[in-house]
């Protein structure tokens, strides 16, 4: 078995290259996942930011929706950022008509909770699970977690209490984009989980 964790980045739409760059820099063997057989070859999966409704439609068109759902249900470690958080949520508020998710994360998420692209912003977040320093987070048309189930751990919230990072079993999800700010600790946390799961 290779020492490097073999992880996939769902490469249907969104900031795929940014995640692949961070993961490669951390020593992972990265596979761009567009087909079920590519998903079957990896030990963990990142679902990137982008447009959740587009990724949803393309996952169905490429025959990936059911395999991704099965992988999550089977305990594959998964990390979702922004749209990835929406796609992992069991419940979505303000989704477009007929929008579906992969599910697996017992949360209710609101799409575009902060408004449009022009309402994007940055904030420093205290994340006890990651220690110091604070996480510098970039929010771009970001969702928020409005409700969490009993098995979900809140990792970070804005000063007003709105939840923006959660964890449940093998799933990690953030409203923001660590991959664009040079913040690697969430990816490291994901890779550690992949290594343990192997």
Q: In the structure, what pLDDT confidence band is assigned to residue 94 with cuts at 50, 70 and 90? A: confident
pLDDT, position 118: 59
Task: Tell me the per-residue pLDDT of 40-73, one tens digit each, with 9 for 90 and over.
Answer: 999 999 999 999 999 999 999 999 999 999 999 9
Q: What tens digit of pLDDT does each residue of 169-197 get? A: 999 999 999 999 999 999 999 999 999 99
Catalytic (active-site) positions:
82, 177, 179
106-165 confidence digits (pLDDT tens): 999 999 887 766 568 899 999 999 999 999 999 988 999 999 999 999 999 999 999 999
Q: Are 180 and 138 in contact (CB under 8 A)?
A: yes
Question: What pLDDT was estimated at residue 183?
Answer: 96
Structural domains of the chain sorted by starting position, each given as residue range(s) with its CATH number in brackets: 6-197 (3.40.50.880)
Is the pTM value of this prediction over 0.85?
yes
Q: Which residues have CB under 8 Å from 127's CB, separation 6+?
A: 134, 135, 155, 156, 165, 185
């Amino acid at each position: 078995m290779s020492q490097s964790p073999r992880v996939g980045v769902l490469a249907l739409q969104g900031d795929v290259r940014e995640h692949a760059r961070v993961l490669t820099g951390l020593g992972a063997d990265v596979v761009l996942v567009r087909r079920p057989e590519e998903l079957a070859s990896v030990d963990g999966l990142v679902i990137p930011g982008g447009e959740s409704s587009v990724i949803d439609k393309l996952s169905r068109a490429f025959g990936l929706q059911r395999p991704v759902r099965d992988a999550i249900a089977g305990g594959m470690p998964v990390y979702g950022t922004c749209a990835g958080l929406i796609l992992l949520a069991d419940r979505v508020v303000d989704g477009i008509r007929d929008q579906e998710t992969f599910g697996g994360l017992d949360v209710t998420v609101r799409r575009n909770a902060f408004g449009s692209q022009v309402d994007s912003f940055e904030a420093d977040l205290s994340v006890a699970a990651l220690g110091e320093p604070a996480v510098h987070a970039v929010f771009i048309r970001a969702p928020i977690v409005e409700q969490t189930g009993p098995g979900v751990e809140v990792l970070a919230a804005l000063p007003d209490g709105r939840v923006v990072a959660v964890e449940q079993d093998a799933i990690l999800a953030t409203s923001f984009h660590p991959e664009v700010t040079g913040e690697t600790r969430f990816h490291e946390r994901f890779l550690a989980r992949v290594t343990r799961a192997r």
